[in-house]
Every structure is written in structure tokens, then in C-alpha cells.
């Protein structure tokens, strides 16, 4: 018996097999409908969809047969995301994928863009995913956060979600209703992030979702939220082909495609029974 084997025999340990975040892994979560095709033909607006969870949600909804509009502030990133979705998605028919240049820092610009969009397209799904997670937030270094950094995070994560949700809910209520789903975070429930701009903004999304849902519960607009745990995204310092195995309840960090499948579930027929709810998608993970 080798010295390593002798040491192992004396210890309690857990071996984690490497798991690489490549196309094969992502495709494993994109092969079949998670809602039985009930989303087919609907039009969805997804903010912050140039990477990470937003991009995965766009791919999922394209594969569910939706017409998808991805929004962002950077035209180059939007163009790259559009090309990536055409490469990855199984279903990208002519006219099924569009981009919307949306400056979420500019209230007047957002109001104009949303009003024009609803005047021309029957949007019935809105996914508010745009957000930022700064390095100081990541380290919970809230005492060193500047006033500018604080308001920048809150404006991007919370203020824009409130604005877009209120505008789109009003439009949906005038028509045939729809679904609004806000991406929050497990950090919104974490003591470690109570005082960080990110944690505050995500807690705000949770409470706002509950309040707005109460206003529109009898008007055909279903408003919910999903609060992911740690997800393998660039914002969490993960990139394509990284090894995402680790000491996690799932033995690997959650991948965006898993969250995307849950998002589709929440805006499908089953989601009609969920109103004003916030679902934690973290596999018992605590942060």
C-alpha cells in the first residue's frame, strides 16, 4: 500500500470528478421542452442577455419556440450574442431572434424603448436579468464601497428592474396579460451580503416582486422571481471549458442552462399557480 493510500484509509474524504463547462454539458440541458411546448409562439424580452444566465434563458426560450428579443447597452456585445445564439440554439427561425439596444441607466430612453416595443410587438414575457456584481460585492467589502459604486449597482440591478417591470406590467394589463420574472439572487437572503450594494439591490428585487404582483394579481399579469445561488458565469469568474466540479451540494457549480430551464418552468402553465413568489435556485447552498 502506497503512502497516499495509507493516508486516504485514515481520512474521510470525497473525490470530485472534473466536470467541464463545454457545449456537450450545456446541450444536455437544451434538448427537450420543460413545459410541454406551451410557450411556443409567445414573444419574450430578456434584459442583460449578452452572456451568462440571460444568454442561456434566450437559448432556452428559442428552443421552446418563442420569439426572443435580447437587450443590452453595447451593440457589439448584442451582435456577438445574437451570433452565439444562432450557433447554439436548435430553433432559430427567420424572425425569431431580435436585438434591442437599451440603455438601462437612462429612464427616458427606457420608457421610450419599452413603449415603442409594445406598440409594435405582442410581448407577453419579460425576464429582468440585467445586473452587475462588483469585486467589492464579491468580497463583501462593503466598508470600502464608494457612493458612486453603490448607486451604480443599485441603479443597474434594482432601479432598472423596477422601471421595466412597472412599464411592461401596465402594457400587459391593457392587453392579454403575460409573465414578468425578475432574476434576484440568494445574496438577497444572505447575512454576508446584507450591507453590500449587490445584496441590497437583490433584496429590493425580492420585495418589489412581491409588491408589484399584489397590484396585478387580478389583471392577468403573473409576476415572480428566481433567486439563483452561485452560477458558473463570467460575473462569477467562470468561463467556457472551465472545470466547475467542486464541493457543492450538486458536486458542481450550477450552470446557467439549469437556471434557464427553471425560468421556463416558472413562466409556463405551471407557473400560473405561482404568483408573487420568489424561488431559491441554490441547491441548499449558503453564501
Helix (H, G, I), strand (E, B) or coil at 70: strand
Biggest CA–CA distance in the chain, Å, is: 74
Q: How far apart are CA 153 and CA 192, in angstroms?
A: 17
Task: Please tell me the predicted confidence (pLDDT) of residue 189.
Answer: 84
Q: How far apart are CA 70 and CA 215, in angstroms?
A: 27
User: For the purposes of burial, counting CB atoms within 10 Å of the CB of 237, is it exposed (0-12), middle (13-18) or buried (19 or more)?
Assistant: exposed
pTM of the model: 0.85
Q: Which of 134, 133, 150 is nearest to 195 (CA)?
A: 150
Q: How far apart are CA 259 and CA 255, in angstroms?
A: 7
74 has pLDDT over 80:
yes
Task: Please tell me the predicted confidence (pLDDT) of residue 145.
Answer: 86
Categorize the per-residue pLDDT at 194 as very low, low, confident or very high, splitting at 50, 70 and 90: confident
Average pLDDT (160-169) is 96
Helix (H, G, I), strand (E, B) or coil at 199: helix
- Show Cβ contacts of residue 194 under 8 Å, excluding neighbours closer than 6 positions: 200, 203
CA distances from 86 to 62, 71, 94, 178 (A): 10, 16, 11, 26
Q: Over the chain, what is the mean pLDDT? A: 85
Helix (H, G, I), strand (E, B) or coil at 151: helix
Average pLDDT (233-262) is 69
Percent of the chain with pLDDT over 70: 83
Cα dihedral 105→110→96→178 (10° resolution):
110
Helix (H, G, I), strand (E, B) or coil at 79: helix
Q: How far apart are CA 63 and CA 170, in angstroms?
A: 28
Strand order across the beta sheet in which 178-183 lies: 97-101, 67-72, 43-46, 123-128, 178-183, 221-228, 278-281
Task: Please tell me the predicted confidence (pLDDT) of residue 192.
Answer: 76
137 near 196, Cβ under 8 Å? yes
Alpha-helix runs per DSSP H in 32-106? 52-63, 75-88
Q: How far apart are CA 206 and CA 218, in angstroms?
A: 20
- Top pLDDT among 18 and 254 is at 254
187 has pLDDT over 90:
no
Average pLDDT (54-77) is 95
184 has pLDDT over 80:
yes
Amino acid at each position: 500500500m502506497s503512502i497516499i493510500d495509507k493516508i486516504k484509509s485514515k481520512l474521510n474524504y470525497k473525490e470530485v470528478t472534473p466536470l467541464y463547462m463545454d457545449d456537450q454539458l450545456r446541450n444536455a440541458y437544451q434538448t427537450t421542452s420543460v413545459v410541454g411546448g406551451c410557450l411556443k409562439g409567445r414573444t419574450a424580452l430578456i434584459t442583460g442577455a449578452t452572456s451568462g444566465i440571460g444568454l442561456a434563458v434566450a437559448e432556452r426560450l428559442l428552443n421552446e419556440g418563442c420569439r426572443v428579443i435580447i437587450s443590452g447597452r453595447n451593440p457589439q456585445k448584442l451582435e456577438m450574442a445574437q451570433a452565439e445564439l444562432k450557433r447554439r440554439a436548435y430553433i432559430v427561425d427567420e424572425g425569431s431572434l431580435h436585438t434591442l439596444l437599451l440603455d438601462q441607466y437612462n429612464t427616458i430612453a427606457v420608457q421610450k424603448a419599452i413603449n415603442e416595443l409594445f406598440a409594435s410587438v405582442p410581448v407577453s414575457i419579460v425576464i429582468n436579468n440585467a445586473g452587475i456584481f462588483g469585486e467589492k460585492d464579491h468580497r463583501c467589502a462593503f466598508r470600502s464601497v464608494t457612493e458612486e459604486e453603490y448607486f451604480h449597482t443599485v441603479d443597474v440591478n434594482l432601479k432598472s428592474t423596477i422601471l421595466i417591470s412597472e412599464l411592461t406590467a401596465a402594457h400587459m394589463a391593457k392587453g392579454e396579460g403575460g409573465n414578468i420574472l425578475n432574476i434576484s439572487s440568494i445574496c438577497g437572503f444572505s447575512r454576508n451580503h446584507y450591507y453590500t450594494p449587490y445584496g441590497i439591490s437583490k433584496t429590493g428585487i425580492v420585495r418589489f416582486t412581491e409588491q408589484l404582483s399584489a397590484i396585478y394579481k387580478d389583471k392577468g399579469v403573473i409576476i415572480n422571481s428566481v433567486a439563483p445561488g452561485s452560477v458558473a458565469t463570467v460575473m462569477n469568474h467562470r468561463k467556457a471549458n472551465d472545470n466547475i466540479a467542486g464541493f457543492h451540494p450538486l458536486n458542481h457549480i450550477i450552470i446557467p442552462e439549469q437556471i434557464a430551464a427553471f425560468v421556463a418552468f416558472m413562466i409556463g402553465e405551471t407557473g400560473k399557480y405561482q404568483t408573487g413568489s420568489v424561488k431559491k435556485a441554490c441547491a441548499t447552498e449558503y453564501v
